[in-house]
């Protein structure tokens, strides 16, 4: 079987796959010949994402679909993995890209805000992995979690998000050790600011978008913020055979911010 045929045989599930990094990763996997299941909470956004992917990768209708799933629900995680495996016959890669962001001082943090940040970013990652592992053990597949620079170092007024993404970082390393003997690799990326719909929402709230973007970029040694596609490229590398000796790694995609 040639390299292209091997890639075509891969089946990828991407949580948070309807926008940002998850959607960019779906586009790259699909263009490489993989079959991709994108998951998210909103069926309308899911349908729009599938249309966008089909436009970007013509002729891929049989290889991409959306499934509504809320990663905060363990049963939904299990149903997602089962559905993808039944549709395509196997599961090779799980990308955990579902996430929410929150800023604010600890003194103003509510229990509901904390629960939401932890449930989506950390609980969702943990139990999506748990649900996928029986299938990934069969294929000696891999997991790529989407962490954050905030899971590597502290960010001002970002305690809950840092707690969640810090948990993702150490969970990734612990799970890599747990599954190494099964031939399942587990890695994560830790991106800094990326130009995604989430970032655009932050910039839109600023009085001057251009000035706000310039200020955001000023802390990065490389002189700019990143793109969703640059993060997606790192995900696809970690999921590829080229990274066959890489597990337990938190790969910084941050323009030198944490250097």
The whole-angstrom distance between residue 37's C-alpha and the CA centroid of its chain comes to: 13
Q: What are phi and psi of 146, to 5 degrees?
A: -95, 105
H-state helical runs in 32-95: 43-56, 74-88
Strands 93-96 and 11-15: parallel
Residue 74's contacts (CB-CB under 8 Å, 6 or more residues apart) are: 127, 130, 131
Q: Which position among 88, 156, 161, 237 bears the catalytic label?
A: 161
* Residue 252 · residue 222 · CB < 8 Å: no
Residue 218's contacts (CB-CB under 8 Å, 6 or more residues apart) are: none
Paired residues of 13 in beta bridges: 37, 94
Cα–Cα distance for residue pair 227/24, rounded to 1 Å: 9
H-state helical runs in the chain: 3-9, 20-31, 43-56, 74-88, 111-118, 124-139, 159-179, 197-204, 209-217, 228-239
| Selection from 98, 180, 96 nearest residue 137 by Cα | 180
Residue 58's contacts (CB-CB under 8 Å, 6 or more residues apart) are: none
> Annotated catalytic, 65?
no
Cα–Cα distance for residue pair 154/135, rounded to 1 Å: 35
Longest distance between any two alpha carbons in the chain, whole Å: 58
Q: Which residues are part of the catalytic machinery?
A: 161
């Amino acid at each position: 079987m040639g390299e292209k045929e091997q890639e075509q045989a891969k089946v990828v599930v991407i949580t948070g796959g309807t926008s940002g990094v998850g959607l960019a990763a779906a586009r790259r996997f699909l263009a490489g010949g993989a079959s991709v299941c994108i998951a998210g909470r909103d069926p309308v956004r899911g349908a729009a994402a599938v249309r966008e992917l089909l436009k970007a990768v013509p002729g891929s209708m049989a290889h991409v679909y959306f499934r509504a799933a809320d990663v905060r629900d363990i049963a939904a995680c299990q149903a997602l993995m089962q559905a993808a495996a039944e549709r395509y016959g196997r599961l090779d890669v799980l990308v955990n890209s579902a996430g929410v962001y929150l800023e604010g001082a600890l003194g103003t943090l509510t229990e509901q805000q904390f629960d939401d940040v932890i449930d989506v970013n950390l609980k969702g990652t943990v139990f999506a992995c748990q649900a996928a592992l029986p299938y990934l053990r069969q294929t000696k597949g891999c997991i790529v979690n989407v962490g954050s620079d905030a899971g590597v170092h502290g960010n001002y007024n970002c305690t809950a998000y840092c707690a969640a993404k810090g948990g993702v970082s150490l969970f990734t390393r612990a799970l890599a050790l747990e599954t190494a003997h099964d031939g399942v690799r587990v890695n994560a990326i830790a991106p800094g600011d990326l130009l995604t719909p989430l970032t655009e929402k932050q910039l839109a709230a600023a009085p001057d978008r251009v000035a706000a973007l310039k200020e955001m970029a000023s802390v990065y040694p490389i002189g700019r913020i990143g793109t969703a596609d640059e993060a997606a490229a790192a995900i696809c590398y970690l999921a590829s055979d080229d990274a066959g000796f890489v597990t337990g790694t938190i790969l910084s995609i941050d323009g030198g911010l944490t250097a």
